[in-house]
Each structure stands twice: as C-alpha cells, then as structure tokens.
C-alpha cells in the first residue's frame, strides 16, 4: 500500500445515462506518479468513469477529489486548470486542422512561450509528428492521430492524464511505440496516468495496479502482475 495521500480519490461514485444507472458505487485511487489501469469488457463502465473524473458527465452521488480538493461540482475547464486532462476514445481531433493546430488547442490560455516549450516537448516525445506539423490531422494514420490526441492532452501540463482505449484499432507495433512513449513520459515527469483498456495485456503491461470493472462495480483490484496471474482474469479476459 502507498502511505501517501492519493492524488485522485473516487469514493462511492454512482452515475447514470438518463434512468439507466451505469456505475454503482465505485471506489478508486491514483497516487502521484502512478499508472493505474481500468480494465473490463465493453459496457463495464470504464469510459463512464473517466467521463465523470474529467467532468464530461455528472455523477449522481459520491465524491471525486484531486489532491484533497473536491472536484465534483467543477466544470471541465476548471478540472483542466487543476491538472486533469482527458485523451478521449476515438481521439476526437479536428480533421481539417493541422497537427500543430490540434496540439495548440490543448494549451489554450497558456502564454505563447509556455505553449511553444510544451509543443517542443510533444515533438520530442513523438518525433513522427515533428515533420508532419503542417499536415491535416484527418490525413494521418490511426497511430499518428492517437499520438496527436495524447500530445494534445500533454499540452495542458496535467498532473493526471486520463487515456481512454488508446490501443483500439491500432497495429501491435504502433501500440508498442505509444506504450513506450507513455512509459517514458511517466518516468521523466511528475505525471500520473489513469488508463482505460479493454485489452488486458496492454493495460497491465503499462500499469502498476489495475481495477477490473464488471457491470459498473469494481470486481477486483490488485497489483498488475497479480492480476495477470489471477486465474479468473486469465480465463475471463485472456482465454487461458
């Protein structure tokens, strides 16, 4: 157990879409400089949880705190200022804007010099984007688009980066490249990552701990290596 207070603490969180309840009392913690994976099948509530943390969806009850500060009533913009950035499922880029224009949107409101330094850091993390800075985002490959989406999140200088299903539809070699980039970012910066992944191997390869969601509740929580060795996880999600 980590003795320090968590950076992010989610307690008894419930959320609904209309009358359909999706989350049923979720408890979750992410500590400073920790990578945590949220795992589970489609419909388990993984993306809904990230939407609640980022402010895109209001929870019906429970609490969300960042460094001890109540976030539940904060709007998305305020959560970004406090240090939460979301890399959404499907990337959500502006296809008619260039790579650099999409990246700069993540630094909205920051001084020009700070934005330029952040931009240089993104190009250092993803060198493939540096030579494509004027290319329209809609003409990039899926992997390159995912790099832009992650880079845009990094432009906000988050303390907590939320990444939703980054490996979806990408070739294994591209997934490995992005995994390595996230691991390097984590090692170099004071950055915590909360990662949603349907691919159990991908999520637990990167994370130190994992939460398994089933039908809107936490079914398991453990160290990544323990979850990978868990017979229930191996049978249900790895087919072993």
Among all chains, which residue has been given the structure tokens 């209309």?
Answer: 18
Non-local (6+) Cβ contacts of 197 within 8 A are: 37, 38, 39, 165, 166, 167, 203
What is the pLDDT of the chain when averaged over all its residues?
90
Mean pLDDT of 55-84: 92
pLDDT tens digits for range 165-195: 888 888 888 888 888 888 888 887 778 999 9
Q: Residue 120 has what pLDDT?
A: 93
The DSSP H or E segment spanning 211 is strand 209-214
Q: Residue ranges per domain, the chain? A: 1-83+159-168+194-240
Give domain 1-83+159-168+194-240's CATH number out of 2.40.30.160, 3.40.50.300, 2.40.50.100, 3.30.360.10: 3.40.50.300
For the chain, percent of residues with pLDDT exceeding 70 = 98
Longest dimension (CA), the chain: 52
Whether the predicted pLDDT of 238 surpasses 80: no
What is the rounded distance in angstroms from the CA atom of residue 55 to the CA atom of residue 62?
14
pLDDT tens digits for range 104-119: 999 988 889 999 999 9
Split at pLDDT 50, 70, 90, the class of 2 is: low
Phi, psi of 28 (to 5 degrees): -155, 145
Q: Residue 16 has what pLDDT?
A: 93
Whether the predicted pLDDT of 94 surpasses 70: yes
């Amino acid at each position: 157990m980590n003795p320090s207070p968590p950076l992010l603490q989610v307690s008894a969180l419930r959320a609904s879409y209309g009358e359909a309840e999706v989350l049923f009392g979720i408890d979750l913690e992410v500590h400073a400089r920790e990578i945590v994976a949220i795992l589970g099948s489609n419909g388990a509530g993984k993306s809904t949880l990230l939407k609640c943390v980022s402010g895109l969806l209001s929870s019906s009850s429970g609490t969300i705190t960042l460094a001890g500060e109540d976030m539940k009533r904060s709007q998305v913009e305020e959560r970004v200022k406090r240090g939460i950035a979301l890399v959404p499922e499907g990337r959500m880029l502006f296809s008619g804007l260039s790579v650099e224009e999409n990246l700069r949107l993540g630094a909205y409101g920051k001084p020009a010099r700070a934005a330029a330094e952040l931009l240089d850091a993104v190009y250092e993390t993803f060198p493939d984007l540096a030579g494509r800075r004027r290319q329209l985002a809609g003409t990039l490959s899926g992997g390159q688009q995912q790099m832009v989406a992650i880079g845009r999140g990094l432009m906000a200088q988050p303390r907590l980066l939320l990444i939703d299903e980054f490996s979806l539809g990408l070739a294994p070699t591209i997934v490995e490249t992005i995994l390595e980039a996230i691991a390097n970012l984590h090692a170099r910066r004071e950055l915590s990552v909360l990662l949603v992944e349907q691919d159990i191997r991908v999520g637990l390869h990167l994370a130190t701990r994992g939460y398994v969601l089933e039908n809107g509740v936490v079914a398991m929580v453990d160290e990544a290596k323990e979850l990978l060795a868990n017979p229930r996880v191996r049978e249900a999600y790895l087919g072993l």
